[in-house]
């Protein structure tokens, strides 16, 4: 009998730990953080990791990506961070199919296909799913455990976590149409790639809008739906305080067009009963002369009451954003002690490379934030805010001025080209306005920091985040010249192959946008490192360490593989044992770093770039796995693929 009790106790202990270490939200918890208590893998043994299984969905396609490109030409971007719930791993593909896997072996349990329409879409990607258990039901009941996703053709779906069948009591036979209330628009203009937040039996969901095609785009409404029925509970239309949403003849809302949207990850705090929105800028990105009444909540963190959708507080990170510096990542929770009091806080990374640390109850800054004067002189019909907010702590994560004398190139020739080009363009540092002559935007609209966001170790109170050190070029073109060819409009022949003409219909200007500032040999003109990984002490606001992330391997031809610090899109995950796991880079590796020192401890070759955020868990037997989606990304130049890869220590 005693032996049975011991065995039963051990079973309960392992099962409880596995339950505690489940990964039930995109960021592990509803406030992000990407932190796992799993500690079998540690700094001493991480080099021994090996690829123990790989799952391939078949859902990938290479192709071009640019404004106006449609359908089968699009390259897929496999950016999913899986969930682990009750010994099942769930992930979504760029075509929004959902796979349920055995987390020990990668074997399929079931597949759900929402049969999305891929033609006429702007992006083909899915960053994650949501999970919820109905406490009014028993584990064996239909839809006791629900997996919820949003699709690139703007629908919500709710499926049974045990078999992948639609929960037909949700919406219309398991689906909710997110296009309702948005008015007529092409399919290209609106979609969703981020998982809904869950709080108080509500699903909170935003949506993405197309950049730089038109001023007449769908609004950025955020809506709460009943998690069982799919009925609309409330909506937040990001219009100025005091204005009311238009109601049609049927009593349904018609959301204001052109408002700031919420395309990234929403956070939820059940204790405070609040949800936190990272908002984008009003469209188009680089001209805002028409935006009156559309910018009250743009490029901001907005805290809403979870029951009503009413604004509790908001903080704007960029005033009158004409740089595409929208807030790209999940507001990430942490706590710290000051004067004997525990303060609930959040960390917000941004495309500018500035990090805003705020009290998440009130929106007040943890460290002082100063309004500083910035460059002036917008194009005719627009304006520039006289000042912008700058945190006194932490220090910026990347340089905020491109120095032409430090321009980079592989040779004297291409370095000289970068230097000469820079001196012809407007280049006054961060917040240089777009111009007719052409402006250097530094950091670029990719960042700085992007949607991968930070990881936070709550035991050490350390935040780790990856950053790009890249510039982009913007040229504003008067409307009467917008029908000219790229060759006629270009101010830089070298940049033409990296440049798009963006129409901005409804605005007095179209624009040329080059996602990077490159030499004739196709390398960034900015001085390396082009990508870094930084740790911040959240108690003091100080940088603890800053190291190059990745290398120029897979980006530059041999023998130029030696450059440290690569362009990156993705995010980090941290563990209790003091490890940071991150892929993200243009070179095809998953890496492990020390949380405390920034030392690179190990790296593991991937078939292509892993531009997702990894996750980690222990199975029922206590074995720890690290999972990364390796699927490439068109903006980084890594090939498309569909590898979901699991790493673990050798099974001894």
By the 10 Å C-beta count (0-12 exposed, 13-18 middle, 19+ buried), 450 is classed as buried
Token representation of residue 543: 């940088």
**CA-based nearest residue to 451, from 354, 331, 549, 534:** 331
Are 79 and 629 in contact by the 8 Å Cβ rule? The answer is: yes
Phi, psi of 567 (to 5 degrees): -55, 145
Could you give the C-alpha distances from 587 to 410, 521, 583, 600, in angstroms and in order? 18, 18, 9, 15
Residues acting as catalytic residues = 324
CB 320 within 8 A of CB 353: no
Phi and psi (nearest 5°) for 498?
-105, 5
Strands 202-205 and 197-199: antiparallel
DSSP codes joined into one string, 440-457: EESSBTTBSS-TT--EEE
What is d(CA 448, CA 440) in angstroms, rounded to the nearest whole number?
14
Q: Which two tokens stand for residue 110?
A: 């079931």
Please give the Cα distance from 597 to 573 (Å, whole number).
16
**Of 133, 106, 123, residue with least CA distance to 25:** 133
In the sheet that 455-457 helps form, which strands lie side by side, from edge to edge? 455-457, 462-468, 531-537, 543-548
Q: What are phi and psi of 486, to 5 degrees?
A: -60, -40
> What tokens does 411 get?
């040779």
HSE-CB at 146 with a 13 A cutoff on CA atoms is 30
Pairing assessment for the beta strands 35-36 and 572-575 based on DSSP bridges: parallel
Query: How far is the C-alpha of 88 from the C-alpha of 430, rounded, in Å?
Result: 46
Cα(27)–Cα(30) distance, rounded to whole angstroms?
7
DSSP state, residue 418: H
Burial of 157-196, coded b for 16+ CB within 10 Å and e otherwise, reads bbbbbbebebbeebbeebbbebbebbbebebbbbbbbbbb
Tokens of 371: 């309004």
Class of residue 16 by CB neighbours under 10 A (exposed 0-12, middle 13-18, buried 19+):
exposed
393 C-beta neighbours (distance < 10 Å), count: 17
Nearest to 567 by CA among 646, 627, 632, 644: 632
Tokens of 490: 């270009």
């Amino acid at each position: 009998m005693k032996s049975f009790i011991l065995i039963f106790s051990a079973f309960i202990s392992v099962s409880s730990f596995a339950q505690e270490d489940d990964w039930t939200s995109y960021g592990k918890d509803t406030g992000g953080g990407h932190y796992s208590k799993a500690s079998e893998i540690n700094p001493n043994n991480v080099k021994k990791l090996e690829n123990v299984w790989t799952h391939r969905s078949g859902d990938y396609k290479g192709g071009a990506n640019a404004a106006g490109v449609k359908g089968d030409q699009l390259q897929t971007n496999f950016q999913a961070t899986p969930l682990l719930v009750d010994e099942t791993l769930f992930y979504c593909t760029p075509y929004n199919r959902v796979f349920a896997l055995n987390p020990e072996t990668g074997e399929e349990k079931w597949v759900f296909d929402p049969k999305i329409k891929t033609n006429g879409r702007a992006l083909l990607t899915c960053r994650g799913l949501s999970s919820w258990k109905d406490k009014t039901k028993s584990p064996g009941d239909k839809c006791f455990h629900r997996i919820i996703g949003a699709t690139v053709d703007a629908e919500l779906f709710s499926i049974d976590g045990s078999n992948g069948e639609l929960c037909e009591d949700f919406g219309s036979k398991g689906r909710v149409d997110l296009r309702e209330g948005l008015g007529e628009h092409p399919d290209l203009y609106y979609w969703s790639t981020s998982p809904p937040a869950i709080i108080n039996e509500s699903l909170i969901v935003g949506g993405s809008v197309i950049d730089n095609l038109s001023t007449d785009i769908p609004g950025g409404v955020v809506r709460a739906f009943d998690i069982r029925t799919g009925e609309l509970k409330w909506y937040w239309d990001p219009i100025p305080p005091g204005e009311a949403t238009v109601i049609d003849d049927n009593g349904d809302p018609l959301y204001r067009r052109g408002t700031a949207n919420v395309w990234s990850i929403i956070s939820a705090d059940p204790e405070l009963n609040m949800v936190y929105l990272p908002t984008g800028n009003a469209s188009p990105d680089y001209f805002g002369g028409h935006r009156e009444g559309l910018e009250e909540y743009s490029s901001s963190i907005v805290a809403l009451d979870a029951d009503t959708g009413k604004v509790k507080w908001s903080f704007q990170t960029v005033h009158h954003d004409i740089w595409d510096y929208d807030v790209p990542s999940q507001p990430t929770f942490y706590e710290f002690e000051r004067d004997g009091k525990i303060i609930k806080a959040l960390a917000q990374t941004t495309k500018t490379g500035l990090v805003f640390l705020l009290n998440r109850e009130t929106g007040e800054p943890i460290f002082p934030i100063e309004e500083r004067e910035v460059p002036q002189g917008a194009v005719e019909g627009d304006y520039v805010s006289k000042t912008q907010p700058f945190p006194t702590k932490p220090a910026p994560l990347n340089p905020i001025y491109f120095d032409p004398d430090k321009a980079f190139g592989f040779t004297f020739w291409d370095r000289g080209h970068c230097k000469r080009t820079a001196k012809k363009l407007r280049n006054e540092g961060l917040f240089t306005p777009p111009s007719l002559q052409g402006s250097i935007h530094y950091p670029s609209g990719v960042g700085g920091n992007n949607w991968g966001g930070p990881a936070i170790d709550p035991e050490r109170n350390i935040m780790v985040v990856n950053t790009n050190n890249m510039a982009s070029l913007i040229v504003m073109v008067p409307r009467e010249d917008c029908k000219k060819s790229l060759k006629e409009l270009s101010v830089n022949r070298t940049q033409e192959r990296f440049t798009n003409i963006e129409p901005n219909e409804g605005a007095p200007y179209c624009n040329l946008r080059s996602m990077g500032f490159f030499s004739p040999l196709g390398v960034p003109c900015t001085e390396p490192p082009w990508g870094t990984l930084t740790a911040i002490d959240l108690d003091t606001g100080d940088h603890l360490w800053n190291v190059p992330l990745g290398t120029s391997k897979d980006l530059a031809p041999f023998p130029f593989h030696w450059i440290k610090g690569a362009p990156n899109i993705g995010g980090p995950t941290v563990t209790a044992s003091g490890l940071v796991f991150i892929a993200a880079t243009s070179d095809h590796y998953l890496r492990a770093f020390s949380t405390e020192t920034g030392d690179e401890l190990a790296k593991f070759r991937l078939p292509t770039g892993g531009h997702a955020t990894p996750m980690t868990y222990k199975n029922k037997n206590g074995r720890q796995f690290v999972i990364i989606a390796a699927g490439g990304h068109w903006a980084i130049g890594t090939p498309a693929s569909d590898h979901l890869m699991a790493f673990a220590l050798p099974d001894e």
